[in-house]
Amino acid sequence: MTAVKKNLQRNGVEVSNDFIRETWAPVYRRHFINNSLARAYDCRRGFYLYHQGHTAELDCQDVVVFWRLEQMLKVTANALRQQVMNREARRLDKIIKEVLEDYSQDQDIKVNLLTGRRVTLAEELKRVRQIQEKLEEFIQALNKEK
C-alpha cells in the first residue's frame, strides 16, 4: 500500500488509505482475469500445437477456472429464473383470486357469466338427456309388460 501511495504522491495525487484499499480489490481482480484470459488463450494455441504433434508443457488451470465460472453462472441464472417464475406465479395467483373475489361479490357479473348462449344450450341439452332417459325407461317398461 505504501508503494501505491508514494507513486500517487509522485504524480501529485493525494489519496487516503481507505480509498486505496477500496480501489485495489477491483483493480487486482481485473488484472487477475486479464492474466487468466491470456493464459487460457495460450492454452488454446498450445492445444493446436499439441494436435500438430508438437509437445509443449502448458499449465492450463485457467481453463478449468473459467469452466467452473461458467457452470456457476449457469446454476445462478437457473436459480434466478426459477425465483422470478415463482414470484410471477404467486403474483398472478393473487390477481386471479382478487378478480374472482370481485366477481363473487357482484351479482350482475355472475348472472351475465352464468346466462349465456353456451349455458342455455347446455341446460337444454341436459333436459333433452333427461327426457331421453325417461323415454328409455318407458320403452323398457312397455317391453316388460308384453
DSSP calls for 99-119: HHHHHHH-HHHHHHHHSSHHH
Write the pLDDT tens digit of every residue in 113-136.
777 788 888 989 999 999 999 999
Q: What is the pTM of this model?
A: 0.47
Which residues 6+ apart lie within 8 Å of 37 measured at CB? 62
Cα(131)–Cα(143) distance, integer angstroms: 18
Write the pLDDT tens digit of every residue in 15-36.
888 888 888 889 999 998 898 8
> What was the pLDDT predicted at 78?
96
Crossing angle for the helix pair 17-51 and 61-105, nearest 10 degrees? 110
Q: For residue 62, how many other CB atoms are within 10 A of its CB?
A: 19
> So where are the chain's domains?
1-58, 60-108, 115-146
CA dihedral defined by 80, 82, 85, 90, rounded to 10 degrees? -110
Query: Which of 84, 85, 110 lies closest to 99, judged by CA?
Result: 110
Write the pLDDT tens digit of every residue in 34-83.
988 888 888 887 777 777 766 666 677 888 888 899 999 999 999 999 99
Write the pLDDT tens digit of every residue in 80-98.
999 999 999 999 999 999 9
